[in-house]
Amino acid sequence: MKILQNLALITQLNHISSSPRNLYLLSAASLSSSGIMDQASQNENRSSDSGDLNSSKGSKLYSDNIIPRLLNLYGERPRARDFEIYADNATFEDPLMCAHGVKQIKSAFYTIPKVFSESGIVEYTVKEEIISPGKNEIFIDNKQHYKFWGRNIDMISLIVLSVEDGKVVRHEDRWDKKPLRNRENLPVLGRLLEMSRRGSMLATHVIMGFGKDPFS
């Protein structure tokens, strides 16, 4: 662009008087034009950088807030405030139960200290992925420990949490890191297993007083 401007300037010089005043005016016009172009380029670059920064807004990690509460749920005394990590319509599913809503999720976890004398996640690593602004997935590779009638039970698990705007909307506990068997991977048997998990959950929900909080 500057080369073309200089050529135009030379052409103009060939057609006008070479007085100092005219040369000064032409030089000033060239510098002014060049300055305007440079400033426009800088503004464009700033605008582009600002757009990149704005596109990253809304990307947030939630695991730091969720994991401590989740560890309490798998422990021996889950409390009502620990369930605040869930959205009202959240679901929880493992190979034994399928809970819909926070009340049923409470019933599922409140059974743990009633069945086991010891329970908890003893080892874990966390990986969190941003799916889209406000939507994340958290993967917790973990080892769970339980004691049942004096017998120690250790289990490897992969917990998968789907999170929207900081709240867990789906919680899967995949024992032995195996996907839950359902109608998607086992069309016939999967449906029966889903019905069995729902039936087990509803029975547990009744026994546990429909999600009544036993601890403050």
- pLDDT score of 177: 97
Determine the Cα–Cα distance for residues 178 and 185; give it in Å rounded to an integer: 12
Q: Residue 48 in 3-state DSSP?
A: helix
- pLDDT score of 95: 97
Q: Strand 151-164 relative to strand 135-148: parallel, antiparallel, unpaired?
A: antiparallel
- pLDDT score of 216: 53
Q: What are the tens digits of pLDDT across the range 40-72?
A: 444 444 333 333 323 334 568 999 999 999 999
b (16+ CB within 10 A) / e for 19-40:
eeeeeeebeeebeeeeeeeeee
Q: Is the separation of the CB atoms in 140 and 158 below 8 Å?
A: yes
- pLDDT score of 11: 43
- pLDDT score of 76: 87
Mean predicted lDDT score pLDDT of the chain: 81
Give average pLDDT by consecutive 10-residue segment, the chain, 216 residues. Answer: 42 41 38 42 40 45 96 94 97 98 97 95 98 96 97 98 97 97 91 96 96 81
Determine the Cα–Cα distance for residues 125 and 63; give it in Å rounded to an integer: 11
**β partners of residue 86:** 168
Entry pTM:
0.72
- Please give the DSSP secondary-structure letter assigned to residue 21: H
